[in-house]
Amino acid sequence: MHQPFTLFSCLLHWLMAILILAMLFIGVGMVASLTDYGWLVSIHKPIGALILVLVVVRLINRLRHPAPPLPAGMPGLLRFAAHASHVVLYALMIALPLVGWAMLSAAHIPVVLYGSLHLPPIVPANAALYATLRGAHTVLALLLFLTFLAHLGAALMHALIFRDGVFESMTSGGDKS
């Protein structure tokens, strides 16, 4: 069988997949609802901060345990698409929480994690900067959703059509059989 990712890499992948997909829906729900806005925003911020911490752990883990090689017969273009989409996913996992944090800093709104636990501002308060970052947050979220759809499509192609063990490499972590 195709060599798997380590158990820790799989756990991080699936935990972050759940959190990130939840954040996309929480974000959309938040801007679409007046009644649920308050509590959705109050969970959007700490989950976003948690994602930022987890992606740093994941990057360090990824440098220490590189991804298993893709199957030898996979065409060059597909290999490139796989690597490029993973780089884009990593970039967005880092950029979205940072832009969210920066845009609230620019709006002079505290980033409340829990009770009186706040994150410090990372950019100066500035209305024009807020407007730019607010727009960027929307565009990046849309881009993340589109890249995720391509990623899901590719994962299902590997699981159901190619049946080359790539899908299982992320579901059977650490299992060397």
- Residues near ligand HEM (CB under 6 A) are 13, 17, 20-21, 23-24, 27-28, 30-31, 41, 44-45, 48-49, 51, 62, 67, 82, 86, 89-90, 93, 96-97, 100-101, 104, 111, 137-138, 141, 144, 148, 151-152, 155, 166-167, 169-170
Distance CA 37, CA 24 (A): 14
Of 61 and 177, nearer to ligand HEM (C-beta) is 61
In the complex, the smallest distance separating the C-beta of residue 76 from ligand HEM, rounded to whole angstroms, is 15
The least distance separating ligand HEM from the CB of residue 111, rounded to whole angstroms, comes to 4
Cβ 29 vs Cβ 40: under 8 Å: yes
Minimal distance in Å, beta carbon 127 to ligand HEM? 14
Rounded to a whole number of angstroms, the CA Rg of the chain reads: 18
CA separation, residue 41 to residues 25, 129, 142, 158, 165 (Å): 12, 21, 18, 36, 39
Rounded Cα distance between 148 and 168, Å, is: 18
Q: From the CB of 170, what's the least distance to ligand HEM, in Å? A: 4
CA distances from 12 to 2, 17, 28, 135 (A): 20, 8, 24, 29
* Residue of minimal Cβ distance to ligand HEM: 27
Q: Which is nearer to ligand HEM, 20 or 177 (CB)?
A: 20
